[in-house]
Every structure is written in C-alpha cells, then in structure tokens.
Amino acid sequence: MTDQDIHAVVRIVMQEVRQWPAALLGELAAASASPFQILIACVLSLRTKDQTTEEAARRLFSLASTPTQMNQLKLATLEQAIYPVGFYRTKSKQILEICQRLITVYQGNVPDSIEELLTLNGVGRKTANLVVTVGFSKPGICVDIHVHRICNRWGYTRTQNPKETELMLRKKLPRRYWIHFNDLLVRFGQNLCRPTSPLCRSCLLYEKYCDRVGVTSFR
C-alpha cells in the first residue's frame, strides 16, 4: 500500500463497517458519555470482551458516575460491580486511585492531554489516546492490537509493537482520520480482517490495496 492509497482505503473501510455495531467506546461517545466514564470504561475494557465491559460499566455507573461519587464506594462494592472483567480486583484498586488523584490534583476533572493522563495509575497510551479522542474530540491515535495488526498487514506500517505503530501513524496518517481510525479498524478487525484466517475474498481491499503481510491462510 502506498501512502496515497490510505484515502481510498479509509473510504472503503468506512463504508464496510456500517454493517457492524460500533465498538464499545464508539457507543459511549455517541451517547455523550463524560470523559470520566470513558476513562473508567477504558480501564475496565483492558483484556476484557466488549459485552462484559459494557455490562460492568453499566452496573458501576448506576452506582457512581463522577470521581467524587466513585471514591466514596467501598472497594468490595466496586469489585462486585465490575466482576467478571479481567483482573477486576486490581482494576478496582486502580479506579479508586484514579478517582483520588483526579480529586486532589485535577479538582475532579479528567485531564485532556495524553501526558497528564499517563500519570494516572493503570492508564497506558492506548487508554490515554482513547480518552483524548473519544472523550474530548481532540486529535490522537489510539493503537490497539487491531490497528497494529491491520496497518502492518496492509503494508502501511512496518513496526514491531503498538507504540511504534502509533508513532509511525502520527507521522504519515492524515490528521483528519486520527480520531475515528481506532473505531473503524476495531470493527473491521473483529468482523473481516480477523487475526487468523481473515476473510480476504470478501474484502474490497483484497486485490488492490492490501499487501497481506504475514497472512498465511485466508478465506
């Protein structure tokens, strides 16, 4: 794939993903969730399926939807609300620590910069970028396993890990695609460009735009 191909590729992917439900964070953005709710949902989502995350987030936000309210919950109550998300005990402690820092350092507000978000316990670059883009509609590039895999499979990037992919995309991906790029590729990766045995013959990118780097078998 050439650098100029990305415009056609994004248009095709945007058209294709309309047939599939939005990813969890995309749904939260559509529902005008607060940056705090998006931040907490991101923390819950790590190593957890979307449906489990969505159910846990709904239970938790019914109890508390602001840092002050959530900071007043007992640890056991929080654990019960978010179970069975992955590492729910660890995440419960992280969430309370995040709430305490937001209250003491940021007057109960979620910061809107990646650098400040990275100071919160349990927040990595993926989560920080999601909060900035989905919560504040500011430019950022969230790179998860789908974005990293697909960009390298296309031949658009040649990187070893998600952080390298993010930095490469910041250099070459047109800025107007940044905010929605993750949501597009998550849906595309979950439903068509799957990790193993992708559905290449059903993909409109198959013949002209995708280099199929690393693909050994496909349908």
The pLDDT of residue 200: 96
The pLDDT of residue 26: 66
pLDDT in tens, 101-160: 999 999 999 999 999 999 999 999 999 999 999 889 898 999 999 999 999 999 999 999
The pLDDT of residue 50: 84
The pLDDT of residue 2: 87
pLDDT at 65 exceeding the cut of 90? yes
The pLDDT of residue 32: 63
pLDDT at 31 exceeding the cut of 70? no
Instruction: Give the mean pLDDT of the chain.
Output: 93
The pLDDT of residue 33: 81
Contacts 24+ apart (CB under 8 A), 70-73: 70/40, 70/95, 70/96, 70/99, 71/96, 71/99, 71/100, 71/103
CA distances, 30 to each of 24, 56, 120, 131 (Å): 10, 19, 25, 14
- pTM for this prediction: 0.85
The pLDDT of residue 29: 63
The domains found in the chain, sorted by start residue, are: 5-20+141-202 (1.10.1670.10), 24-136 (1.10.340.30)
pLDDT in tens, 73-87: 999 999 999 999 999
